[in-house]
Structure 1
Amino acid sequence: MNFQDLVKVERADWFIDIAFKTAGKVSDDKRSDVTKTKASKLSKSRTLELMKITTIQKVLIKHLKNIVEKFPSIDELPDFYQELINCTLDKDELKKSLGGVSWAITRIGLFSKKYSGKIKAGREIITINSQRKEYYGRICSVLKQIDKFLVVIEKSRRIMKSYPSIKTNIPTIAIFGFPNIGKTTLLSKLTGSTPDIQPYAFTTKGLNIGYIKKSYKKLQVIDTPGSLDRFDKLNNIEKQAYLALKHCAQKVIYVFDLTEPFPIEDQLELFKKLKKQLAKEQEIVVYFSKSDILDKQIITEFIKNSKLSNAYFNAELLLDKLKHIYL
């Protein structure tokens, strides 16, 4: 799922300005052709005013429909994105706002039909001009009424553009553990990708994602930073990580770093917390980072004392195992 294509949502005045300017330009461009005809002044005026109404209707409905149609149907999104929306923005307010834009599309269509009929029936130029001005006023009123909805939609769009682009329909592995303990390096070794590696803890800009490929098959791997905080205390990236673990990952690779950038006690506590929050079918694999600078005996004793199973400290062996299972 990718939210990068959501178009920027402008304010009401922007839509009014572009629609009316376009209508004026179309009318001006056609004016010489219309005035050359043998029709009466009344008929010529009627033709030009109808052009303006038709143009305004087309421009506004095109732009407003683009907003509504580009936004995904929230209730049909995968569980990961639905829960992410629930914890990052007001879903009901967004749905109401999108409904408000749909209402405006309908009203613009109705007013355009109504005032086109009035102008066609007009018997005096002054009456036709008056009807066109009244139509302009009605259209402005409709757009002003949805300005607050446009603000909500644009705010939501900016938030949703920050969501990670996770494929929810392919096998997924989450690499989990504290920041800066080798998760991103492992991601690079497994997938061959070059993720954004930050030099300090808690500076992750987003979830790093890579893919293990074999012929036409793909295995998605997500670098998910962990925290001992409660969910409501997590930052946005940590919340995304938690939800990716919950809804997307079939297997989790928990990364230990025995060089202790974080105390071993905290790493074990986070590991126990992870085991409690995962579903029974979600398997945990343990990986030891920076094993090249550690005595292998230290790792072996830690595995034994902590009663760990399914543990790796060689990324190539882990990669072979993952390919064998999923690809």
Structure 2
Amino acid sequence: MSETAPFEGLPTTPRADELLDKAFSRAARAGRAKSGKEAQESMLLTAGNILSDNMRNVVTSWPDMDALAPFHRELADAVVGVDDLRQQLSEVNWASRQVGDLRKDYQGRMRRADAETAKKLRKQAFARFADVVEEVEGDLLAIGEARDELRTLPDIRPDEPAIVVAGYPNVGKTSFINRVTNARNEIASYPFTTTELHVGHLERDYVRYQLIDTPGLLDRPAEERNDIERQAVSALTHLADAVLFLVDASGECGYPLDAQLDLRDDLRDRFREVSVVTVCNKSDRSVDVDADFFMSVETGENVDEVLDAVVGAIDHEPDLPFEER
């Protein structure tokens, strides 16, 4: 399964009643093709194999969480809870083995029985199959819900350089990404917020860079984020190779400049391992702020210079303020 989108190919998780209906209906068809004890044994094997194989496939279709990149692993944990998911998969794996063991046991007993006893044994086996599958009914539902949530995770690639574009709403983040990337504001679902994730891509010297805006996460102070959102921000710290922080000195964004700079300082503390480049956008309206660069996305002023700087910042150590490097 590709690391670029480790949950994208997950198959639909069947419900317990769907599994039982599928197994028993196919078993009935298999039984009609034979007679006597052979029919009962054929029904037993068909139903047991379908149930055991399908539940095993539910488990094996999932990637090894410990083998995922830290970004994807923490993202999955923020969305569904990795420990809970592991336990649910373990229960379904147990059910798969249990059905397999029952199938073998009843097959052996049938071979020593007459036709009438074999029919009774087959009915007993089906009842026990149903009990096992129904015991993991809740686990199958939870796994299905986790699959549906995780399949919507954005195709963000940990092996490609990532620039996180941050700042309060209305400072020009999405406009900047639209202007400099070839994705024209590709939108991907972001399960742990009520908004969306904006991802754009550009290439420099045969290297593809990802520009990521995270509305609902990095556009407000840390104390306003809930536990899941804080964990999502933690996941982003594994991903970011540089942070471009946009401020609006004119105040037209609706947030005081002091609050914007406080948010910038909060992100500097959070993203300690990477460069945080402060850029004053809307420089055609105001430049009344201490920033690394001044630009206007609307007029195009210094946009290319800012892009060059933040791409270059990926190779810098973040131990000094950007302007001192």
Fold agreement, TM-score > 0.5: yes
1:285 matched to which residue of 2? 277
1:24 matched to which residue of 2? 28
The answer as to whether partners of 1:204 and 1:237 remain within 8 angstroms in 2 is: no
Structure 1: runs of 5 or more not aligned: 35-43, 198-202
For 2:52 and 2:224, how far apart are their aligned partners in 1?
Answer: 40
Which whole-Å deviations, capped at 9, do the CAs of 1:57-81 have from their partners, x for residues lacking one? 3322332122212222223322223
1:190–1:204 Cα change, 3 Å: farther
Residue 250 of structure 1, aligned match among 241, 251, 265: 241
SS in 1 for 2:214: strand
1:52 matched to which residue of 2? 43
Question: Which amino acid is 1:180 matched to?
Answer: N
Number of residue pairs aligned between Structure 1 and Structure 2: 297
TM-fit CA distance, 1:231: 5.5
Give the TM-score, by structure 2 length.
0.80
1:215–1:272 Cα change, 3 Å: closer
- The structure where helix makes up a greater share of residues is 1
1:39 matched to which residue of 2? none
2:208 matched to which residue of 1? 218
Question: Which amino acid is 2:73 matched to?
Answer: Q
For 1:169 and 1:64, how far apart are their aligned partners in 2?
Answer: 33
For 2:258 and 2:19, how far apart are their aligned partners in 1?
Answer: 58
Question: Which amino acid is 1:272 matched to?
Answer: D
1:316 matched to which residue of 2? 304
1:216–1:125 Cα change, 3 Å: farther
Which whole-Å deviations, capped at 9, do the CAs of 1:81-138 have from their partners, x for residues lacking one? 333344443433221111011111111111111112222222x211110111111011
Residue 110 of structure 2, aligned match among 107, 119, 127: 119
For 2:58 and 2:123, how far apart are their aligned partners in 1?
Answer: 27
For 1:311 and 1:245, how far apart are their aligned partners in 2?
Answer: 26
TM-fit CA distance, 1:310: 5.1
1:322–1:253 Cα change, 3 Å: closer
SS in 1 for 2:196: coil
For 1:183 and 1:48, how far apart are their aligned partners in 2?
Answer: 67
TM-fit CA distance, 1:196: 6.1
Q: Kindly indicate whether residue 132 of structure 2 is the aligned counterpart of residue 142 of structure 1.
A: yes
The answer as to whether partners of 2:274 and 2:314 remain within 8 angstroms in 1 is: no
Which whole-Å deviations, capped at 9, do the CAs of 1:199-254 have from their partners, x for residues lacking one? xxxx96322112212475321221123244435734866753x2354111111100
Runs of 4+ displaced beyond 4 Å: 235-239, 310-313, 321-327
Which whole-Å deviations, capped at 9, do the CAs of 1:152-211 have from their partners, x for residues lacking one? 2223333323433321122111111112321111112221212268xxxxx963221122
TM-fit CA distance, 1:315: 2.0
Which whole-Å deviations, capped at 9, do the CAs of 1:23-64 have from their partners, x for residues lacking one? 212333xx2xx4xxxxxxxxx422222222222233223321
Higher Rg: 1
Structure 2: runs of 5 or more not aligned: 188-192, 297-301, 316-325
For 2:229 and 2:152, how far apart are their aligned partners in 1?
Answer: 10
1:231–1:12 Cα change, 3 Å: farther
Give the TM-score, by structure 1 length.
0.80
| Mean CA deviation greater in 154-163 or 50-59 | 154-163
SS in 1 for 2:157: coil
1:187 matched to which residue of 2? 177
1:112–1:231 Cα change, 3 Å: farther
SS in 2 for 1:207: strand
For 1:239 and 1:95, how far apart are their aligned partners in 2?
Answer: 19
1:177–1:148 Cα change, 3 Å: same
Residue 85 of structure 2, aligned match among 69, 83, 94: 94
Question: Which amino acid is 1:289 matched to?
Answer: N
Residue 270 of structure 1, aligned match among 253, 260, 263: 263
2:299 matched to which residue of 1? none
For 1:78 and 1:289, how far apart are their aligned partners in 2?
Answer: 34
SS in 2 for 1:72: coil
For 2:270 and 2:139, how far apart are their aligned partners in 1?
Answer: 38
For 2:181 and 2:226, how far apart are their aligned partners in 1?
Answer: 28
1:75–1:25 Cα change, 3 Å: same
% identity of equivalent residues:
26
Question: What are the within-5 Å matches in structure 2 for residues 191-202 of structure 1?
Answer: 191-195=181-185
